[in-house]
Structures are given as structure tokens and as C-alpha cells.
Chain A
Amino acid sequence: MSTPARRPRRRWTGDYRYLFENLVMKDFRVRYRTMSLGVLWSLINPLVMMTVLTFIFGRVFGGDRPPLFPVFVLCGLVPYNFFTLAFLSGTLSIVDNAPLVKRVPVPREIVPIVAVLSHVVHLLIQIALLIGFTLAFGLRPTAAWVWLPVVWIFYIIFICGLSLGASALNVYIRDTRYLVESFNMILFYLVPIFYSFEIIPARYAALYQFNPVAAMVLATRNILLDGKAPPGSLISNLMVAAAFTVGLGALIFSKLKLRFYEHI
């Protein structure tokens, strides 16, 4: 009879803060060092998208469009872009970091979380851009702006949770990558980026109400465009989404991580 396996008593004991800082900066540097425009790309990309969407839906289609349409669009693009980039990097992280996972005994959970956090650096640049536009269009900061970091933190935790689960699944089922890519593409239309929540017929409202990315877009607009705190329903939506995905993601991850070594 063999004795049942026990959890090892070994724990990685080290400086978590120093480790996170180094790994996040590593991802960030690697991504931008080989580009001559470097970090400017995080400004160019949303600006181009904003201009195109403003032109098409503001001028070509014409009709009634929400006031301050460029800022309105940018409030949709920044959360959407962050979601797609961070979620995809997170999903691929374990497989992409095979040398690390197979050779260094750090807790594996760090890998997808670092992948998500490494996008926060350019998220901050994009938020600065968003705020710059908001001010340039004549809006003034209000007390409601303090909600901005709060909702973003829940949003980032939500994406970390998703990435934990998806990165572990991607080790065993490499198709997960393509599922995530397709999902991200469909999401562009399911998030009110270039249209407002008010035009959605009531019977489809549920599709948006339970979608944390849509909730994030609406909350960002509430704060920056209306200068009001987001309604409690949006905040609780984001909180529940964060708690739920982290719980489920961590559960999937802990179950699957034991055999990562054999599968990558």
C-alpha cells in the first residue's frame, strides 16, 4: 500500500513584491523594447480606433449620436482593449512561460496574474489619455472620479480570475486560445462601445446587464461623462464578477496545476 500523497510542506518563500515587480516589468519591457515607437503605441492604437469609430458612426451613419461622441467612444474602447489584451495574454501565459513553469519553483498562480498586470502599465497611459480628452472637451473633475480606481481594481481582479482558469485549461486544450480570440471579437459588438446602453431593446438588456465588460464601460461613462457615481447595480455586478471568477479560476487552476509539468 502506498501512502496517500500529502501536500508538500515546502512553500516558495521569497519577496513577492520584488518578484511581481520584476516579472511585470519584464513583460512590459519585452513587449515594447523591440518597437521603435515603444510605449507610444498604447496611445496611437486607441486614438486611431476612436477616430475611425467616430467617423463611421458619427458621420457616415449620422443620425442621433450621444453627446461628446469621441470621449464616449474612448470610454468604451479603453476597458474593451484592456480586457482583450490582458485576457489573451493571461490565457497564453502558462504555455508561453514553459521555461519558467518547468524550471523555477515559484507558485504557478503568479504567471497568469503577472501577464494581466503587465498590461496595467499601458492601461494607466490610456486612462491618462481618456482623462486628457475628458478635460479637453470641457468636462471638469467631480467627486465621483474617486470611483474610477475602485471599479478598475474590481475589473482587473475579474480578468485575473478569468485568466487563471483559461491559462490552466489552455495547457491541456490548446484550442482555448482560439476560443478566447473569437470571444474577444464577438465581445466588441456585445459591449456598448459605439452605441449607448439606452438604445438596447429591453428584452436584450440582460445580455448587457450581466456582462462585466459592459458594466465597466457604463461605469466609466457614468463617472467621466455624467460626473456621477455609477449605480449600485453596476458596482455590485463588478464585485460579484470579480469574486466569482477568482473563486472558480483558482479552483480550476489548483486542480490542473499539478500536471502542468507533464503537458507543456
Chain B
Amino acid sequence: MTAERIPPGTVRFDRVTKSFAKQGGPKLLRERLGDLFASSKGRRIEVLKDTSFALAPGESLGLVGSNGAGKSTLLNLATGLLEPDSGTIDVGGRVGALLELGAGFHHDLTGAENLRIQAALMGLSRKDMETKFDEIAEFSGVREFIHEPLRTYSQGMILRLAFSVAVCAAPDVLLIDEMIGVGDQAFKELSHRKVQEMRKAGHTILLASHSEELLTSLCDRALWLERGRVRMLGNVDEVLAAYRAS
């Protein structure tokens, strides 16, 4: 395989297919062991079929489709949490995934400790983190509580903390799953504004949302998924109009 250098901020899906195993009922240990090392080809549901698209650095793509259409699976594949069954996925540079804010936070640890763990998981080095720590703490708005355990935080404070570390890490590709829809009005506005800023600064954005307002304000193009297949790919207004009409 030639080690082609993928420019940071590029996202390419080439005929990507992903299926999940049907779980079925309880199994005997013997069958379980058999399944374990066999590649179970049968009894699988395809959640994404032959999906292709490409994003150049700085482009932003909205994902639309009903629940179960494959939007989250596509984001998980782009993040690298799932491996495709077939096809290729290329993502250049550092990926920041806002899939579930606060996942991996521990409530007995302080805000500062959680921030450092999260930053290390995202791939920041100690030096990066030392220079960025104040900025992240400031942006999160919970600076005065940063040395308190997370269990004393409100849900809103945890959201802001998680969001701050994810965006302040300045990923080349930002993957967002419904995230901006959570939290109170102030958080929605703050996160919306920040993502808009990142878009203008040339970060690539992939956003799954049911909100037309968000999609039109944050995306250039949109990809409409229907039962795991690409139904339409094009300008965000045209795709949304067709989606609405369906």
C-alpha cells in the first residue's frame, strides 16, 4: 500500500459499506466461541451501503436523514471508532469528534483533571495543553470551579467543559452529532457561534442534525442518507428542499 499523504482537513469515503451483526438470542458457549473467530458473513444488517463523498479542507457537509438512516454510523466511521466492511476511508489531520459530550468524564475527578485527560485522548501533547489550558478553562466559563470534583457541577457546566476542550484543541476535522441541540439556549448560541467561527477559520466540518436552521447556517453542502444509501448529495438548500418534499 502506498502511504499517500492525506492533506489535513480532507475527508474521503470511497464505496464504504458497514454492517452490524444481528445479535440473536442467547448462545451456548460453544457457538459463541465458534462465532468469535469466524468472520460472520450471514445474519448481518447493512447500515451503510456503498457510500462515497469527498470533502476538501475547509468544506462543511451536513448529514440529513431520518433516525436510523446511518448518519451516526457514518460519523463513527469517520472518527475511526468503527472499521468499514469494505471500501476506504481517508481522513487527514487531527479529528475532533463531538459525538456525546462528556463521554469519558469521571465524576470523582476535578474539572481540571478531566480536561487534561480529555486533551490527552484527543492527541494533545503536554506542551500544547500547558499553553492552552487557561484558554480552555476561560472559554468553558467554569474557571472558578475548575479544581472542584465534577460531581458538584451542573449538567450545563459539564457540557460547556466538554465542548471547550473539544473545540479548543483546534482539530482539522470537526465531527458533530446533534450536539448543538443539547443544553440551554445560552449554550446553543455559544456552541453555534464557535462552530461558525471554526468554519470561517477553515476547519472541515461534518455535522449530523435534524435542525434545518443549523444545517443551512453551518454547511455548504448536504448529504441525504436513506436506509444506509446516499439519496442525494449537493447544495445544502437544494438537498433540504428535496428532503422536505419527500
Contact = CB atoms under 8 A, between A and B. Distances in A.
B17 interface: yes
A8 interface: yes
B97 A6 contact: no
A107 to B, nearest CB: 10
Given A2-B85, A102-B81, A105-B97, A12 B29 contact: no
A26 B109 contact: yes
A261 B76 contact: yes
B190 interface: no
Interface in B4-59: 4, 6, 15, 17, 20-21, 29, 32-33, 35-37, 50
Contacts of B15: 2-3
Contact of B37 (A2, A5, A10, A255): A255
B29 A106 contact: no
A22 B104 CA distance: 13
Nearest to A22: B120
B201 interface: no
B6 A105 contact: no
Contact of B90 (A10, A175, A258, A259): A10
Contacts of A262: 20-21
Given A15-B126, A19-B120, A262-B20, A29 B82 contact: no
Contacts of A33: 108-109
Contact of B125 (A5, A18, A172, A261): A18
A21 B121 CA distance: 11
Contacts of A175: 29
Interface size class of B (residues with CB under 8 A): 35 or more
B184 to A, nearest CB: 23
A261 B125 CA distance: 27
Contacts of A173: 29, 32-33, 36
B230 interface: no
Nearest to A1: B86
Nearest to A100: B104
Contact of B94 (A13, A26, A261): A13
B166 to A, nearest CB: 11
B232 interface: no
Given A9-B90, A10-B91, A12-B123, A2 B100 contact: no
A145 B1 CA distance: 49
Nearest to A19: B120
B103 A103 contact: yes
A18 B108 contact: no
Contact of B83 (A100, A102, A258): A258
- B15, B126, B129: most-surrounded residue (chain A CB, <10 A): B126
A5 B83 contact: yes
A21 to B, nearest CB: 8
A4 B79 contact: no
Contact of B97 (A19, A103, A256, A261): A103
Nearest to B40: A259
21 contacts: A4-B86, A5-B86, A8-B84, A8-B90, A9-B6, A12-B123, A14-B123, A15-B120, A21-B120, A22-B116, A22-B121, A26-B113, A26-B117, A30-B109, A33-B109, A100-B121, A104-B81, A105-B79, A105-B80, A105-B97, A259-B21
Given A18-B126, A103-B100, 9 more contacts: A4-B86, A5-B85, A9-B90, A12-B80, A14-B124, A19-B121, A22-B121, A29-B108, A105-B81
Per CB-CB distance, the 3 closest pairs between chain A and chain B, nearest first, are A14-B123, A15-B125, A105-B80
